[in-house]
Amino acid sequence: MCGIVGYVGARPALGIVLDGLRRLEYRGYDSAGVAIVCDDELRTEKRAGKLTNLEKAFGDERFGTGTAEDTTTVDSTCCPAPVGIGDGTAGIGHTRWATHGGPTDRNAHPHLSRDGRVAVIHNGIIENFAKLVAELEADGVEFVSDTDTECAAHLLAAALADLRAAGEPEGPRLLAAAMRRVCQRLEGAFTLLAVDASIPDAVVGARRNSPLVVGRGPGEHYLASDVSAFIEHTRDAVELGQDQVVLITADSIEITDFDGAPALGRDFHIDWDASAAEKGGYDYFMLKEIAEQPQAVADTLLGRLTESGEIMLDEVRLTDQDLRDVDKIFIVACGTAYHSGMIAKYAIEHWTRIPCEVELASEFRYRDPVLDRSTLVVAISQSGETMDTLMALRHAKEQKARVLAICNTNGSTIPRESDAVLYTHGGPEIAVASTKAFLTMVVACYLIGLHLAQVRGIKYADEVEAVVSQLQGIPDKLRQLLASMEPVRQLARDLSTANQVLFIGRHVGYPVALEGALKLKELAYMHAEGFAAGELKHGPIALIDQGTPVVCVVPSPAGRGMLHDKIVSNIQEVRARGARTVVIAEEGDTAVARYADDLIYVPRTPTLLAPLLTTVPLQVLACEIAAARGHDVDQPRNLAKSVTVE
C-alpha cells in the first residue's frame, strides 16, 4: 500500500505534491519521490526513509527542514536537487510501503524510462511482472531497480514511441492512449500515475483494484490515492471506476475504459476538512484500519495461486522435500498475532494432519521444547521486530528447526532470519491495536496450511483452489459486514459503563473470544476475559452477575451441528445467571436469536474461515467503547506498536 499524488495547474506543483504526500504518509513511509515536468524536462528526486528526507533534499529555504525528531542524515551529494524543480506546474509524487524490492533510494518511486523522459509511480502489485521483465530484457532494457513498477515505465515509453511512430498527434491524449496500452498488458492490482517530459501539461492515471480519486479545482486538477491529499485545495472530487484511465490537464478531466471508450466517474463532495485528513477522514487510525480490512485481505490473497493451482510463498529457502519431512509444527507469536496462530492450528491440523502447537513466543525457549530438523516453526509478527518472537525463532534455529515467517513488514528482522517468508500485504498499521494485520495474518496462515497440504499430497490443486476461492469471497463479505456496524456502535455506548465484559467461544470462536477480550482490555482499560465456552462451568461462571455482558461467538449451524448446539447451551447457562448476552452469529441462525439480548449477524461462511468475519464486530466494539470512555484509541496507555524488548 503506497500513497500517490498528481497535480496539473498554474501553481508550482512541487509544494502541492509534497503536501499531498505528507497527508498520505500513513499509507507507507519507507521512501518517497517526485517527478516534476519543467522546461521540457523531467526533474525527479527520491529518497529512502520518511518524507522528511525527501523534503530536505530540496533545501531548507524552499520546503522547510522536516520534523525536529527526524535525525536521519541525507547525503546531499547523492542526486542533488536540480535547479528549477520548483517551477514546474505538473508533477507526481509517491510515498512507498515496499512490496517488491527493499526500501532503498533505488527502489523508491518514480521509476523512469531509459531516456529519463517518462516517469511512473505505482500502488499495488503487478502480478505478471516477471514475464514482462523477461520480455523487456530480451529487448535490451536494463532494469535499475528490484521493483515490479519499473516495467510499467519501460512499457509506457515503448507504447508512446509506437504511437508516435504511427503518426498519432502529439499532446495529452497520446499519453492516455499509451497508458491504455500498458494497462492491457498488466495483471494484478495497480494504480499508476505517469508524466512525459514532452507533454508538459498533463498527468495520466489508471486504476484496477487499487484506489484513485480526482480532485477538481479552478484551473487545476489532482489525482490521489485518497482525497486527504488535496482536501486543503478542493472538496470536489470524482471517484474512478475499476479499469479506467483518467487524463487530467489544468482545464479538463477525461475518463475512458482500458479500451478507450468514454467512461464516467462518480462526482462527490467531501464533507470533512483538512484537519481530519491524516486519518483519511476517520476519527482514529484504528477505525480507518478496520475499514481497510476488505482491501488488506484481498491484497494478501493477490497473486498467491499459480496457473497450475499451487500456492506461492514470497521467499522460500526450503525445498518441497523439507516441507514433506515436517512431522510437527510450532506456531510462535505474541498478543494478537498469537491469537491468529491459535486459529491457524485448527485449519492446519485439519488440512495437513500434522500435529500443530501454538506457543507464546515469550515462553517458548524457556520450556525447552523438543525441536529438530523435521520441526517447522511458524513465527507470526506484524512488525517483524518483536523481540520475544525473534528470540523464539533464534532458539528454534539453534535446534536446527526450519522457520517460516508470516510478517507485514518487508525486510524486517524476523523474515530476514527465517528460512521462508509469507508477507501479508495489509499495508502500514499505525494504530497500536492490531486489526487489519490480524485478519491478514489469519489469511496467511490458511495459505501456509494449504501449501503444506498440497506439497504433502493431501490436497489436490482443485481442493486448494476451492478454499482459495472461498477466501476470495471474504473481502465482499467484510464490506457487507462493515456497512452494518451502526448497532454495534450503539451497543458500545451502552456497554461503556460496564465493570467487566466476558467473551466465550468454541473451536475457532475461542481464539476470537480471546482477541475480543484483548482488544477491550488494551483500548478501554476494562476487565475483559475470553474463555473456551465449555470451561465456564469449571470456574469462570462465578464471575457472572446480574447484567454482566457476555459476548458469545457462535459457529455456523450449517457447520459442525454439535458445536452450535453446545454453545447455545452455554449461552442459556450464562443467561440463567443474569448475563446480558451479546451474540455474534451467522445470518439466518434463528435458533440462537431467542437467547440473545443483543444480536449481531455476520455473513455466512465456512466454519474454519469464520474468524475473518466474527472478529470484526469485536474490533468495532472495543474501539467504540474506548472512545466512549474518553481514551486515546490509537495510542493506548503503556503500549507501543513495536515491542523490541523481552
Q: How far is the CB of 100 from ligand F6R (least distance, A)?
A: 22
Q: How far is the CB of 397 from ligand F6R (least distance, A)?
A: 17
| Region 366-405 residues binding ligand F6R, contact defined as CB under 6 A | 381-383, 386, 389
Let me know: does 557 contact 564? Beta carbons within 8 Å: yes
Residue keyed to cell 504433502? 456
| Region 493-532 residues binding ligand F6R, contact defined as CB under 6 A | 522
Q: How many residues does the chain have?
A: 646
Question: What are the grid coordinates assigned to 571, written together?
Answer: 449461552
Whether 328 sits among the annotated catalytic residues: the reply is no
Q: How far is the CB of 496 from ligand F6R (least distance, A)?
A: 19
E strands, 140-295, in order: 188-196, 199-208, 213-217, 220-224, 236-239, 244-248, 253-257, 266-269
Q: List phi, psi (to 5°) of 513.
A: -60, -40
Let me know: does 380 contact 331? Beta carbons within 8 Å: yes
Q: Among residues 334, 348, 371, 474, which is the contact residue for ligand F6R, using CB under 6 A?
A: 334
CA distance 176 to 254: 9
DSSP 242-267: TTEEEEE-SS-EEEEETTS-B---EE
Q: How far is the CB of 339 from ligand F6R (least distance, A)?
A: 8
CA distance 591 to 564: 10
CA distance 86 to 37: 10
Q: Which residue is nearest to ligand F6R (CB)?
A: 335
Give the single-character DSSP code of 231.
Answer: T
Which amino acid type is present at position 493?
Answer: R
Q: How far is the CB of 406 from ligand F6R (least distance, A)?
A: 9
Whether 641 sits among the annotated catalytic residues: the reply is yes
> Would you give the end-to-end CA distance of the chain in angstroms?
30
Interface pattern 285-324 for ligand F6R (x via CB under 6 A) = ----------------------------------------
Among residues 2, 38, 356, 623, the one annotated as catalytic is 2
Q: Among residues 337, 474, 495, 514, which is the contact residue for ligand F6R, using CB under 6 A?
A: 337
Return the range that interacts with ligand F6R (CB under 6 A); candidates 63-71, 331-339, 344-352, 627-635.
331-339
Q: How many CB atoms lie within 10 A of CB 490?
A: 12
Q: Among residues 295, 300, 336, 614, which is the contact residue for ligand F6R, using CB under 6 A?
A: 336
| Region 197-256 residues binding ligand F6R, contact defined as CB under 6 A | none
Q: Which is nearer to ligand F6R, 604 or 641 (CB)?
A: 641
Q: Which is nearer to ligand F6R, 234 or 336 (CB)?
A: 336
Q: Which is nearer to ligand F6R, 88 or 335 (CB)?
A: 335
Q: How far is the CB of 566 from ligand F6R (least distance, A)?
A: 29
Q: Give the sign of the dihedral formed by CA 27, CA 32, CA 35, CA 36.
A: positive
Q: How far is the CB of 578 from ligand F6R (least distance, A)?
A: 30
Any alpha helices (H) in 64-118, and if so which ranges? none
Q: How far is the CB of 338 from ligand F6R (least distance, A)?
A: 7
Using rule CB under 6 A, residue 581 touches ligand F6R? no
Using rule CB under 6 A, residue 335 touches ligand F6R? yes
Question: What are the grid coordinates assigned to 631, written together?
Answer: 481514551
Report which of 583, 586, 614, 618 is spatially closest to residue 597, judged by C-alpha positions.
583
Q: Which is nearer to ligand F6R, 79 or 643 (CB)?
A: 643
Give the single-character DSSP code of 209.
Answer: S
Could you tell me how many residues of this chain bind ligand F6R (CB under 6 A)? 13
CB contact set of 459 (below 8 Å; sequence gap of 6+): 351, 450, 453
Burial of 218 from C-beta contacts in 10 A (0-12 / 13-18 / 19+): exposed
Q: Among residues 31, 434, 548, 619, which is the contact residue for ligand F6R, using CB under 6 A?
A: 434
CB contact set of 432 (below 8 Å; sequence gap of 6+): 522, 634, 635, 636, 639, 640, 641
Q: Which is nearer to ligand F6R, 528 or 568 (CB)?
A: 528
Using rule CB under 6 A, residue 615 touches ligand F6R? no
Using rule CB under 6 A, residue 433 touches ligand F6R? yes
DSSP 374-423: TEEEEEEESSS--HHHHHHHHHHHHTT-EEEEEESSTT-HHHHTSSEEEE
Return the range that interacts with ligand F6R (CB under 6 A); candidates 144-152, 329-337, 392-400, 458-466.
329-337
Q: Which is nearer to ligand F6R, 265 or 426 (CB)?
A: 426
Q: Which is nearer to ligand F6R, 424 or 454 (CB)?
A: 424
What pairing do the DSSP bridges indicate for beta strands 199-208 and 236-239?
Answer: unpaired
Q: List phi, psi (to 5°) of 218.
A: -75, 115
For 338, the 3-state DSSP assignment is: helix
Q: Which is nearer to ligand F6R, 118 or 404 (CB)?
A: 404
E strands, 16-103, in order: 31-38, 41-48, 90-96
Q: How far is the CB of 382 from ligand F6R (least distance, A)?
A: 3
Using rule CB under 6 A, residue 643 touches ligand F6R? yes
Q: How far is the CB of 334 from ligand F6R (least distance, A)?
A: 4
Q: List phi, psi (to 5°) of 519.
A: -60, -45
Q: Which is nearer to ligand F6R, 134 or 640 (CB)?
A: 640
Q: How many CB atoms lie within 10 A of CB 575?
A: 17
Q: Which is nearer to ligand F6R, 382 or 418 (CB)?
A: 382
Q: Which is nearer to ligand F6R, 8 or 297 (CB)?
A: 297
Among residues 328, 397, 521, 641, the one annotated as catalytic is 641
Q: How far is the CB of 383 from ligand F6R (least distance, A)?
A: 3
Active-site amino acid positions: 2, 641
Binding residues for ligand F6R (CB under 6 A): 334-337, 381-383, 386, 389, 433-434, 522, 643
